[in-house]
Amino acid sequence: MARITDNSTTAETGIIREEDFSVIMAQAFATYGLSVVTDRALPDARDGLKPVQRRILAGMRAARYLSTRPTVKSAEVVGLILGNYHPHGDTSVYDAAVRMAQPFTLRYPLIEGQGNMGSEDGDAPAAYRYTEMRLSPLAEALMADMESDTVPQHPSYKQDPRVLEPDYLPGRIPPIVNPSSGIAVGLSTNIPPHNLVEVLRACIALLDQPNMDVEQLMRYIQGPDFCQGGRIIGVDGIKDYFATGKGRIIVRAEVRLEDTPRSRSLIVTQIPPIGRDKVKASIVKAINARKLEGLLPDVRDESDTEKGMRIVLELRKDADAAQALSQLFAETDLQIALSFQMVFLFGEPMQAARQPKQVGMIDLLNYWNTHQMDVLTRRTQFELRKAEERLHIVEGLIVGAANADKIVKVFQQAEDRAAARQVIEKTYKLTPIQSEVIASMTLAQVTRLDAGKYAKEKVELQTRIGELQHLLSDRKAMLLLLKKEMQQLIKQFGELSTWRARFMSPLKKLPACTNESLSPLPLHVLVRSRRCQQIRLFPGEKMVQPYIRLFAAMSNCARSSQPRHKIMFCVSLQAEGSSKSRLIASHPEIVRQRASICANFWGWLKAKRL
């Protein structure tokens, strides 16, 4: 209703409106709930970010806190984001930023942190007056092309037209490489991380074949790629969430046996994606509840930055290692079940995402591909515009340089700038932009060097314009460009993408741990291709469950090898400390179909009872 003005009167003359309880409740709850769904807890399907994350990254970029510059005090970042973009508490901003800097939380960190950024053990980060941060190269890649008019921007909560924030990012990195989870109202999301290289390859393939099915997709993306590794058991859960967005998998820790004259211990080197402190606490709890009889009551965490993760669980003298292992998996958090549902926010191009939806992998990646095409198109349009504008100016400059003497005379005779410009516009058929450019030319610009440069530039621009126009008119050409840029990303970030999680073969039941699971001898697998390329895997590591690793390794190898090559799989044993290996089996195989390679070798291995 009306405004409240300055007329003060006595007593109770303020306005009292009546409103029904149910109306207030419904309205307030709906507003709150919707805002949590669309503007807080759920990530956008185009860039994989929640609003607070997007504001942090975009804000840091606008303030040039780039990976090529020194780090900036976190307090500065927090203040910047709070003051300009995010009208909530400082802890929410700092906590979100720290999370984006933790390599054990995000598979591909978006922020580079300096100082104590928290630990896998659940330790809190240092206060924001101590730590420093800047964007990571990956974040910059995520935001590439932002200034090319590719995404819509709107004024932030300050309502200041000069302070803008993007509705979504160009998101040149696919949205499911980093994990995300959030509880909204009536909805929640829980998305695992994935391997960037695999996802990009899948996207490239989807560009040509958007109607892929889950089986085909799984040739590109095996499943989640957790930061802390671990073994994923059973692919049914993966198939489920690839297909529908909802699935459940079981993840086991990587445990191996260390047998020294002094002691026998189980060494945990990778854990499922939960906090290390939680895992240790669950082991302690199980020991106290007398559920792990085979172990000595001691949990030693010998992890450090050199050795990596190393949790030592000593076995009792006569304990059966395999049995202890299965008890560990059954009673502690060394084996956990994870449920996923991939819920993202979707929206039309040039509009903020408002629609929450649960999606399977294929639909999501197709949507992202479409978004990338859109971004690319807009960027091309932008570049075309800019090139045309520049060409226009250059053409004016060329005219100016070529007719400098006459133009000077015009200016000398003219009354003022405006009059002079009008004359040259008429004489040389120039537009006001061009006449202004000429009017501002310096003497140096008419030298032969400069004039020559303009002529060259004109040619370049014309070529460029031609290319851009071709891109815009030919969808196939645009697709090709997109693929090329994705390949570029693969090359750029490939080394960050060495696989961490491993897979069990698609077994329905959880495999029991038998004595064979604990192999005391180190196993090497040598893969020779026709070109005698030896790829040695698993150097010197004692494996607890060798078959599973081999399977994963074979998948990787097979994928990278060329079809119709002859591959020799060799399994050899190498004793510790010696450089000689004893070949125990070899198996030639012609790569006809990548999938069958693994299956065949697998069967062969099992038959050999290795």
Partner 1 sequence: MTAATVILTVPHSGGKFSEGAYKTAGGLHGVGATVINALSEKLELTIWKDGQKFTQIFSRGVALPHHIVPCDPKLHGTQLRWLFDRLIFDDEAYYPLEAIDSRLKAAAYLNGGVTFHLDAWDDAENKQVSRTFYSRDGLPDYVRELSISTSAPLFKQVLGIAKEKDGVQVEVALQPTTGYKTTIYSFANAVRTRDGGVHETGFKAALTKVVHDYALKWKIIKNREEDGFRPEVIQQGLNAVISVKLTNPQFQGQTKDRLNNAPVEGIVRSVVDEGLKDWFESNTTAGKEWLKKILQMQKARNEAQLVEELARGGNKKNGELIDTTLSKKFLRCNSNDPERAELFIVEGDSAGGSAGQGRFSEFQAILKLKGKPLNVAKADLRRIVENEEIRTIINVLGTGTRDSFDISRLKFDRVIIATDADVDGLHIQCLLLTLFHQEFSDLIEQGHVFIACPPLYSVKYKGKTIWLLDDEARLQFMKTHADAGGLEFKRFKGLGEMNPKELRDTTFDPARRTLKRVSMEDGVLAARLVKELMEDENAEARRVFLAEHSRKIKELDV
**Six token digits for residue 189:** 């999301």
Stretch of 180-188, 296-304, 321-329, 527-535 contacting partner 1, by CB under 8 A? 180-188
**Six token digits for residue 469:** 């126009």
The secondary element (H helix, E strand) that includes residue 244 is none
Task: Decide: is 25 part of the binding site for partner 1 (CB under 8 A).
Answer: yes
Task: Decide: is 18 part of the binding site for partner 1 (CB under 8 A).
Answer: yes
Task: Decide: is 93 part of the binding site for partner 1 (CB under 8 A).
Answer: no
Q: How far is the CB of 87 from partner 1 (least distance, A)?
A: 6
Residue recorded with tokens 């590109």:
220
Compute how many residues bind partner 1; rule: CB under 8 A: 43
Which of 70, 129, 186, 261 is the binder for partner 1 (CB under 8 A)? 186
Stretch of 27-35, 114-122, 172-180, 417-425 contacting partner 1, by CB under 8 A? 27-35
Stretch of 34-42, 143-151, 525-533, 576-584 contacting partner 1, by CB under 8 A? 34-42
Task: Decide: is 348 part of the binding site for partner 1 (CB under 8 A).
Answer: no
Task: Decide: is 28 part of the binding site for partner 1 (CB under 8 A).
Answer: yes
Task: Decide: is 444 part of the binding site for partner 1 (CB under 8 A).
Answer: no
Task: Decide: is 159 part of the binding site for partner 1 (CB under 8 A).
Answer: yes
Euclidean distance between CA atoms 175 and 169, whole angstroms: 11
Which one is catalytic: 128, 130, 220, 454? 130
Binding mask 304-343 for partner 1 (x = CB under 8 A): ----------------------------------------
Task: Decide: is 185 part of the binding site for partner 1 (CB under 8 A).
Answer: yes
Q: Is the CB of 86 or the CB of 252 nearer to partner 1?
A: 86
Task: Decide: is 83 part of the binding site for partner 1 (CB under 8 A).
Answer: no
Task: Decide: is 187 part of the binding site for partner 1 (CB under 8 A).
Answer: yes
Q: Is the CB of 86 or the CB of 231 nearer to partner 1?
A: 86
* Spatial contact of 541 and 256, defined as CB atoms under 8 Å apart: yes
Task: Decide: is 26 part of the binding site for partner 1 (CB under 8 A).
Answer: yes
Q: Is the CB of 45 or the CB of 461 nearer to partner 1?
A: 45
Q: CA dist 510 to 119, 214, 329, 505, 610, Å? A: 31, 23, 10, 11, 20
Which of 30, 575, 583, 599 is the binder for partner 1 (CB under 8 A)? 30
Binding mask 37-76 for partner 1 (x = CB under 8 A): xxx-------------------------------------
Q: Is the CB of 9 or the CB of 68 nearer to partner 1?
A: 9
Q: Is the CB of 232 or the CB of 343 nearer to partner 1?
A: 343
Residue recorded with tokens 């970010």:
49
**Six token digits for residue 7:** 């007329």
Euclidean distance between CA atoms 435 and 469, whole angstroms: 27
Task: Decide: is 406 part of the binding site for partner 1 (CB under 8 A).
Answer: no
Q: How far is the CB of 4 from partner 1 (least distance, A)?
A: 5
Strand ranges (E), 244-365 = 246-252, 254-259, 264-270, 295-301, 311-315, 335-341, 343-346, 355-358
Q: Is 130 a catalytic residue?
A: yes
Q: Which of residues 99-158 bind partner 1 (CB under 8 A)?
A: 157
Q: How far is the CB of 352 from partner 1 (least distance, A)?
A: 10
* Spatial contact of 413 and 504, defined as CB atoms under 8 Å apart: no
Q: How far is the CB of 79 from partner 1 (least distance, A)?
A: 17
Q: How far is the CB of 35 from partner 1 (least distance, A)?
A: 4
Q: Is the CB of 352 or the CB of 496 nearer to partner 1?
A: 352
Stretch of 33-41, 212-220, 500-508, 561-569 contacting partner 1, by CB under 8 A? 33-41
**Six token digits for residue 574:** 């190498």
Task: Decide: is 15 part of the binding site for partner 1 (CB under 8 A).
Answer: yes
Q: Is the CB of 21 or the CB of 444 nearer to partner 1?
A: 21
Burial (CB count within 10 angstroms: exposed 0-12, middle 13-18, buried 19+), residue 106 = buried
Task: Decide: is 162 part of the binding site for partner 1 (CB under 8 A).
Answer: no
SS3 181: strand
Which has the closest alpha carbon to 526: 585, 577, 467?
585
Task: Decide: is 29 part of the binding site for partner 1 (CB under 8 A).
Answer: yes
Q: Is the CB of 1 or the CB of 289 nearer to partner 1?
A: 1
Task: Decide: is 289 part of the binding site for partner 1 (CB under 8 A).
Answer: no
How far, in whole angstroms, is CA 114 from its chain's centroid? Answer: 21
Neighbours of 69 (CB within 10 A): 10
How far, in whole angstroms, is CA 60 from its chain's centroid? Answer: 18
Q: Is the CB of 186 or the CB of 261 nearer to partner 1?
A: 186
Q: CA dist 574 to 371, 425, 455, 583, Å? A: 51, 84, 68, 9
Which has the closest alpha carbon to 255: 265, 245, 240?
265
Q: Is the CB of 13 or the CB of 579 nearer to partner 1?
A: 13
Task: Kindly list the strands in the beta sheet with 502-503, ordered across the sheet, starting from the edge strand earlier in the chain.
Answer: 180-183, 188-191, 335-341, 246-252, 231-233, 502-503
Q: Is the CB of 28 or the CB of 599 nearer to partner 1?
A: 28
Stretch of 17-25, 285-293, 432-440, 572-580 contacting partner 1, by CB under 8 A? 17-25
* Spatial contact of 343 and 185, defined as CB atoms under 8 Å apart: no
Task: Decide: is 350 part of the binding site for partner 1 (CB under 8 A).
Answer: no
Euclidean distance between CA atoms 58 and 110, whole angstroms: 12
Euclidean distance between CA atoms 107 and 109, whole angstroms: 6
Residue recorded with tokens 């993840």:
251
Euclidean distance between CA atoms 364 and 305, whole angstroms: 36
Neighbours of 514 (CB within 10 A): 12
- Buried-exposed string 524-547: b where 16+ CB fall within 10 A, e elsewhere: bbbbbbeeeeeeebeeeebbbbbb
Q: How far is the CB of 178 from partner 1 (least distance, A)?
A: 25
Which has the closest alpha carbon to 373: 172, 194, 211?
172
Contact residues: partner 1, CB under 8 A:
1-6, 8-22, 24-26, 28-39, 87, 157, 159, 185-187, 354
> Which residue numbers are catalytic?
130
